Each structure stands twice: as structure tokens, then as C-alpha cells.
Chain A
Amino acid sequence: MSALERSDESPQVDALAAPVGPAEKEAPSPFVLDVHDFSVDYGVGTQMVTAVRDVNFSLQRSKVLGVAGESGSGKSTLVYAITRLLRAPGVIRSGSAILRVALPDGHGVEEFDLVQADERTLRRVRWSHVSVVLQSALNALNPVLRIRREFDEVLKTHRASMTKTQRRERSVELLRMVGLSEDRLDRFPHELSGGQRQRVMIALALALDPDLVIMDEPTTALDVVTQREIINELNDLRSRFGFAMIFITHDLSLLVELADDIVVMYAGAIVERASALELYDAPRHPYTLGLLNSFPPLHGARQELTGIPGSPPDLAQLPAGCSFSTRCPFVMERCRRESPTLISLDDDHRQVACWLHEPGASATVPVELSQRRRAATSDSDLATAESK
């Protein structure tokens, strides 16, 4: 049997499709992670800025949540805080992050509020239940250790029963999973290229078969072929073992392929949430539309793209009202005074924070934000692109 397979649990079917296990009195929550009213500050007093504001989301078992947004929108801060990897001067101001992991015997789940958890609990949870691939993973490997030692450390600590040979076999298997050959185990980090190091980090994150894997831009520094291989491999592994994933990237095209749901963050807050295809086909928030139009296309005539004008706001001096109002092509008078909250759109479960979509609002929703994009873009009149 492959060391990758869980011995203690049959591969998990979509928890939603089969919600009630016969052994359970109550249906176990389908959510592996529940984040509620979560806010994170950097610094205190007059220096204080809020990097994550009132974030709410839930993640179902085995599902992929994509988090998109520009640099500085708080994506990393959010996941660092949730996993308690946040360093000073970062502080979780409020909120909870409930992690639910399946018990090994298949009976029910264990709950942790990661925000309240002590160091001992966190040690138990990390790697085994939640693992994180950090954005700066290129430096995360210890420069004086051979790659083999990194795997040994993790496996020794959490899988004490494994023999040296088993650890070696498992390490080789993990490396292969991310497209690296066995001989990399005996290399030092500096002997690998940036992409090769990043793949080592991903292999480490998957080493203990966790319930939730959080990846902060894991493939951003990789070439597309490797990215494609890793995405395919991740999808494959997920369908076999049912781990859930939070995948942070600004590459919306990638998220559309990979994620079930996507949240878009701007200036620390979620501005839109939708299923991946809905978000791509019919973005509702002007910022989402801007993000989608920021990618040079693979086809068609070369024309200058403008993307989203301006740069992300200074968190210390957010504009009054809607934080996107300084860059929004559809800005209205009201936007500069009042801040829109995340509301559910009545036609489906998606959410958006924009005055254009307020029920009964007098504003007409611009055609770009009310229609399906694919139909609309076929006339190619939609892109914020201008002809040269």
C-alpha cells in the first residue's frame, strides 16, 4: 500500500453529498474551517493599521477556497493570523477561526478555535491537520541542512513510529509528487533553483496528509508547466484524500480552474465571493472586473492593457466610504461617503460589497457588471484594454 493512503479512514466522499453518517447523532459540520468576524491589526495606538477587517468565511471539507487580491490586500495576513503564524506587531483584534478535524476512528470531529489555542494545541495541529506553504518559502529552508533532513524532522516529530527507511521512502514519494527526482534529497537548498525549492516546500506541507492545506502563492514563482503539474497533482490528491485547501494567488485565471469558490479581497476586506465560474463569467464588483482585465491574453492582437488604475490605498489613510472609490471607474457620490457592506445577491448565494448592487438602489448596474462576461467579451468591447 502506498504510504500516501490513510490506513485509518476510507477516502472521503464529498461531505455534502453524504451528510449524515449512521454512527452520528448529529450530522457533522461540513465545514473544516469557520472564520468569523476576523480582524487583524498591525501595531498599536496611532501607528495602528487594520490589515484584515471583519472577514467571514467558511470552508467545506475537501473544497478549495481561492483568495485573490492585489499586493497588500491582506491575504497573507489573514492566513498567517488564522494559523497563528502572525508575528508582532501583528495582533488578532477580534474573531474566531474554528478548525474541525475528523477523528481518526471516523466518529465525529474535534474542534479547535485556533485564535484561542495554546502553543501545545498549535503544535499538535500544525503539519498534522493544517499545513501552510508560506509566500517567502524560497527562504524557508534551512541553508545548512540537506533536503532529506527537512523531511526527517517533520516525519520524526509527528510520525514517531516510522523507520529510517520508511521516512526515506516517504520523502522520495513526496518529492516525486511535486516533480522532483530522488537525488534532490541529498542537495542543499542553494543547489536547487527557486522553483525546485518551492516544490520541496509543497511536498513538506503534504507530508502528514493534513485536513487543510493553506498555500500562499505557492506556484507564483514557478513555471507554468510545473504549475500545471502541481495543480493537477493537488487536484488528484484532494480527490483521493479529501483535504481542503485555501489557495492564495493573484492569478485569477488559475483560481478559476482550481477553486470551488473565490473570495476577492481589497484593503483588508472581502469585496466579493462567488463560485469560481460565476466570478469569472459574471463579476459583480468593479475591482473583480479590473483584476480579470489585468492579464495579458494568450490570444488576439497585442494591445496595451491598463489594468486597474492607481495603486492600493494606504491602510493608514483609507478613503472615506468605499475603499475602492479612489480607483473605481463606476464611483458614485454615495460611494465617497458610505462604506458598502457585503450583501448576498438574491439570485444566488454569491456576495458583493458595492453600492451598485444594493437591492432597490437607484443606480443602474453597468452592463459589464450585470451580464455574463464570456458572452459580452466575445465582442471584445469589455476589456479595459485600449487600442494602441
Chain B
Amino acid sequence: MSDVATSPALLSARSLSRDFTTRAAGRFWNAKRVTHAVEDVSLDLYQGRVTAIVGESGSGKSVLARMLARIVTPTSGQLVFDGTTIEPHHKRGLDYAAQVQLVLQDPFASINPIHPIRHCLERPLLIHGATKDDVAALAGAALTRVALDPPERFLDRYPHELSGGQLQRVSIARALCVRPKVLLADEPISMLDVSVRLGILNLLKGLCVSEQLAILYITHDIASARYLADEVIVMYAGQIVERSFGTSLVDEPAHPYTQLLVASVPDPEALDEARVVGQHEKLEVATVGCRFAPRCPHAMEVCRTTSPPNVELAPGHVSRCWLHTREAHASLRVNARRVDEGGDI
């Protein structure tokens, strides 16, 4: 598990952004509202490495994954796949689809309920050029790889006859069966039971090493990211707020949001510790300055006006927060004085 990649990145995101325009509710007739689902995100996926993205619901992880899979068109930014730059308007070919596979969050939604499991595995194989004679064996082998064993027990069953966990394993099998180079796994284990979770995590790690897959592992389970990933990236409100290699991000979280994340994990070893969490009345995301400021216990004057800089705290460990800068200390003092004077922060 090296911190420094030796080979060039297989798939890179260069300043990817995606906006969604929704009709704002109520008062203003025809008012539009723009959601910056993903903003200026850059990351590199390497062969044989797992990169984890951790973030809360709505932080843009799925939109990012869909842009990497080229199912969602970026508003701006480029992808670089295997050395080739892809602009947002370029058409996605079948080849890209086979090489970059996406596993979705909700197996109930992602698997067609009207066909048996066999169909959902054989279809992508046929589309991607397997022969009719091979598909049955390949489909069975794919199920075995995700511990649905023996495959005959599952191939002719319908999705509603499987439990949620069994179904999610089918969708991972479906992605693996076309032998992709990049696997984008969007919360692949969030609906799985514990023992299978570990099995899948170990499976992903194994595939990553043995088949040199580049894996993007999206999760809200920061402990599993710590367990699996070579690099952990934390997203908040569409932006990357912290990233680091190995376990250091979880062990020494620097960004206030990451600290909140780590403190929120159920931890029976720390039952008596007071659970401090953000107040959800303040869920709104700031549009100026630091997006986390409305929920941040350390928010300062500068945070509300100016976007914080990326600060490299240790090699590869980057956090986007004013607290890490010199300016912050001046600002902190200003802030404290204002509180004393009962001034409006």
C-alpha cells in the first residue's frame, strides 16, 4: 500500500462540476434555483488502488460517480481516461461503459424486477460481446465471485425472491462480469449485512490487487473506508474538504466536518462520551465562504465571506479550512472579542 503512485492515473477527474437547476418552491413565480451538486472536484484513480469517497447524503458523491461513469454530463471539467482527455460533450462509447463500471446504491432500484437473475447478468455480457454459449458459465462464475454459492440456486430466481443483501451481491456480480478496469462502487455495501460486507470489502480489495482494478469506493461508513482504502477523500456539499492517505484521515481528522463524521460513528467503546452533533435546523449550505460554516462549531468571520484554502498539513494530507492558516488565528481573536462584546457574529 504505497502512498505514492508509481504508474500514471488510469482515470482522473479534472475540476469536474455539475449544476442542477430546479424550480424554486413558492413565492417567486418562475424562480429558478441552481444546486451545485459537485464543484471543482479533481481526483485520480490508479490501477491496483482503492480511493474512498466519504460524505453525507446529498454531498454529491453519486453525481460524481455518475460523471466518472459518463452517465451524467459535467457542467464543466474534463475526464482523463488512460491518457485520453474527454470533454463533457464527447459521446460515451460502449468501450468506455465496459471499462468503467458503476455499482449502484439501491439494489431494489437498480435491478429489473421482471426478469430472473440470469437475465440481468447475461444481458451485459451479450451487449459487451460474449457469445451465447459462454454467457451461462460466465454468469454463474460472476455469482460465485460474490459468494452467491452455488449459482444454480440463484440464477433462475426473481429479484423479489432474494433478500436485499443477496440482491446487492447480484448487482456487484453484474458489474464484475464484463471485466472492467475501473469499478465505481456507489455505497455497494450500505444495504448488506455485516458478514457479507466484510466479504465484499475483502473481495474488492482482492480484485484491486489481483486484477489491478482501479476502485472508487463511495460510502458513508468512514470505518469501512479506513479499512479498505489507500486514499480517503471527504466531500461536503459538492466539494472536497479533506483527503489523506492510509488511516491518517480517520485517525487524525483535521477538518471540522471530518471530525464531526468520526464522532458520529456508533462506537460502543465510547458509549458514555457526549455525542455532539450539528444542529440539523442549520442544514442549509452556505453559498459564500465555507459551505460548512452554518454548521461549523469553529466558524469565524472569514469563513462566512471567503472560501477557505486547501492547506497541506502533511504530505498528501490536505484540508480545506481557515483554521489551518495564520490568518485564522487573527480572525479567531477578532471573533472572540466580538462574542465578549455581545456583538453579532
A residues at B contact (CB < 8 Å): 69-73, 76, 135-136, 138-139, 176, 178-181, 183, 185-187, 191, 193-196, 217, 220-229, 232, 250-254, 256-257, 280, 290-291, 294-299, 302, 304-308, 311, 314, 374
**Residue B105, interface by CB 8 Å:** yes
The yes or no answer to B224 lying at the interface (CB within 8 A) is yes
The yes or no answer to B93 lying at the interface (CB within 8 A) is no
Known: A71-B196, A180-B283, A304-B202. A298 touches B265 (CB 8 A): yes
B191 interface hit (Cβ, 8 Å) = yes
- Minimum distance in angstroms from A237 CB to a CB of chain B: 14
B262 at the interface (CB under 8 A from A): yes
Q: Is the CB of A221 within 8 A of B268?
A: no
From 308 to 341 in chain B, residues with beta carbon under 8 angstroms from any chain A beta carbon are none
Whether the Cβ atoms of B227 and A305 lie closer than 8 Å is yes
Determine whether the beta carbon of B227 is less than 8 Å from that of A195.
no
- Bound Cα distance from A156 to B187, whole angstroms: 36
Is B222 part of the contact surface with A, judged by Cβ < 8 Å? yes
- Given that A183-B25, A296-B226, A302-B227 are contacting pairs, would A139 and B268 also be in contact in the complex, using a CB cutoff of 8 Å? no
Residue in B163, B201, B266 with the greatest tally of chain A CB atoms within 10 Å: B266
In the complex, chain A residues whose CB is within 8 Å of the CB of B164: 71, 76, 135-136, 217
* CB interface residues, B 257-277, toward A, < 8 Å: 260-262, 264-269, 271, 275, 277
Shortest beta-carbon distance from A141 to chain B in Å: 12
Interface size class of B (residues with CB under 8 A): 35 or more
Residues on B close to A: CB < 8 A? 22, 24-26, 55-59, 62, 105-106, 108-109, 147-149, 153, 163-166, 187, 190-199, 201-202, 220-224, 226-228, 246-247, 250-251, 260-262, 264-269, 271, 275, 277-278, 280-281, 283-284
Residues in B with CB closer than 8 Å to A69 are 193
Q: Are B264 and A71 in contact (CB under 8 A)?
A: no
Contact between chains at A225 and B195 (CB < 8 Å):
no
Name, among B62, B199, B201, the residue most crowded by chain A CB atoms within 10 Å (CB to CB).
B199
A71 contact from B56, B190, B192, B275, Cβ within 8 A: B192
Known pairs A70-B195, A228-B275, A296-B227; A257 contacts B268 (CB<8 A): yes
Taking a contact as CB atoms under 8 Å apart, the answer to whether A257 and B193 are in contact is: no
Residue B58 contacts which of A135, A195, A302 (CB distance < 8 angstroms)?
A195
Report yes or no: A70 in contact with B193, Cβ–Cβ below 8 A: yes
Bound-state Cα–Cα, A221 to B166, Å: 16
Which B residues are in CB contact (< 8 Å) with A229?
277-278, 280
A254 with B227: CB separation less than 8 A: no
Is B275 in contact with A217, judged by CB distance below 8 angstroms? no
B55: chain A residues at CB < 8 Å are 223
B163 and A181 contacting across the interface, CB-CB below 8 Å: no
Question: Shortest distance in angstroms between A318's beta carbon and chain B's nearest beta carbon?
Answer: 14
Q: Given A250-B193, A254-B266, A306-B198: A72 and B25 within 8 A (CB)? A: no
Which residues of chain A have C-beta atoms less than 8 A from B163's C-beta?
71-72, 76
